[in-house]
Amino acid sequence: MHINNEWKDYRIMATGDGEKLERWKDVVLLRPDPQVIWHTKKPFSEVAVPDARYIRSSSGGGYWEYDKPLPDSWVVGWRNLRFRVRPMNFKHTGLFPEQAANWATVIDLIQAAERPINVLNLFAYTGGATVACLSAGASVCHVDAAKNMVEMAKENVALSSLADKPVRYIVDDCRKFVKREIRRGNRYDAIILDPPSFGRGASGEEWKLERDIFDFLVLCGEVLSDNPLFVLLNSYTTGLQPAVLSNLLKLTFPASGSVTAYEVCLPTDEGTVLPCGASGLWTNKGVKYE
C-alpha cells in the first residue's frame, strides 16, 4: 500500500454510501466512488456542505449539480508543483491526487540515478507524472490520444514553471507511436503507463486492457534503452489486483530487474485509507527502491 501525505490543497473529509466528500483547496466536491461500500459515520452535511456534487445517471454518465457558482477551474499544489483542476465529464477533475505516491517514487528514482533520464509517458492524460519527472530533471515524451488532455498537460507544466524543460507533446494512439519509435530506433530510460480499461484512438483504434496490455508491454520493452531505470504501470481497472500487474511486469521485462506492486491509496480524515487503484514498478538491477 502506497500513500502520500504531502497534499496541502487536497483532502478526503468523509466517505460513505458510495461517495467521498473532498476539499480541493477552497472547493468542496462530493463524488461517487465504487470502493466506498460502507455507510457514512454521520451525514455529510455535518462535515461540510459540498459546493458541487456529481450525480450519476441511470442511463450511464451523469452530471454536476452546483450548490453555488464555481470558477471554471482553479489551481492546487503538491510540493512545489501546480495543477489546474475543474469539474469534468464522468465525475473527473483532471487530476488523480492518489498518484502523488507514484510521483514521489519517480522523482526519487530519477534524482538518485545521477544521469540524464529520458522518460516516455504513455496514456499520459493531463500530465501529473510528466510534471513530476520534469521537476526531477528528466526529459519527457508525453503521449495521449486526446488533444484536449495534452493541452491541459501543457498548462500544468507551465503552471509549475517547467515550460522551458525538455518535453515533447504527442497527440497519437500510444501503440502506433511506440511502433514508430521502434522503427526510428528511439529509446527511453523509463516508461510510465496509465492505460484505460477501454478506449479508442484518434482514428478509431480500439483498446481493451485485458486483451491488449500484455502484448503492449512486450512492445514497450523494445523502446527501453540499454541501461533502463524503471517501468511504472498503473491501472484503475476494477478487479485488477497488484499481483496481476506484478506478473505482467515480471513476464515482459528483464528478469534481472526487481518488481514490486501495491495498492495506491489516499488517507481520509476519518482515519481510514481509500484504495484508488493499483501500480506495478519494475526497476533495473542495482537500482535501489524502498
- Give domain status of residue 58, yes or no: yes
pLDDT of residue 290: 56
Q: Across residues 212-240, what is the average pLDDT?
A: 95
pLDDT of residue 289: 61
Q: How high is the mean pLDDT of the chain? A: 95
pTM for the model: 0.94
pLDDT of residue 200: 76
Percentage above 90 pLDDT, the chain:
89
| Same domain assignment for residues 7 and 86 | yes
pLDDT of residue 107: 98
* CATH assignment of the domain containing 84: 2.60.40.1180
Q: Give tens-digit pLDDT for 176-223.
A: 999 999 999 999 999 999 999 988 766 777 889 999 999 999 999 999
* pLDDT beyond 80 at 247: yes
pLDDT of residue 60: 76
- 8 Å CB contact between 257 and 280: no
| Same domain assignment for residues 211 and 237 | yes
Q: Across residues 79-105, what is the average pLDDT?
A: 96
- Band of pLDDT at residue 268, cut at 50, 70 and 90: very high
Q: Give tens-digit pLDDT for 143-163.
A: 999 999 999 999 999 999 999
Domain boundary among 91, 115, 130: 91
Q: CB-side exposure of 231: number of CA atoms within 13 Å?
A: 29
- Which residues sit opposite 171 in a β-bridge? 144
pLDDT of residue 238: 83
pLDDT of residue 202: 62
Q: Across residues 115-127, what is the average pLDDT?
A: 97
| Same domain assignment for residues 268 and 144 | yes
- Band of pLDDT at residue 63, cut at 50, 70 and 90: very high
17: left (phi over 0), alpha (psi -120 to 50) or beta: left
Domain count, the chain: 2
Print the domain residue range for 169. Answer: 97-283
In order, the DSSP letters of 240-262 are --HHHHHHHHHHHS-TTSEEEEE
Q: Is the dihedral of CA 144, 177, 137, 97 positive or negative?
A: positive
pLDDT of residue 201: 66
Domain boundary among 37, 59, 91: 91
| Same domain assignment for residues 120 and 188 | yes
Q: Across residues 245-254, what is the average pLDDT?
A: 97
147-159 vs 128-135: helix crossing angle, rounded to 10: 40
Q: Across residues 17-39, what is the average pLDDT?
A: 97
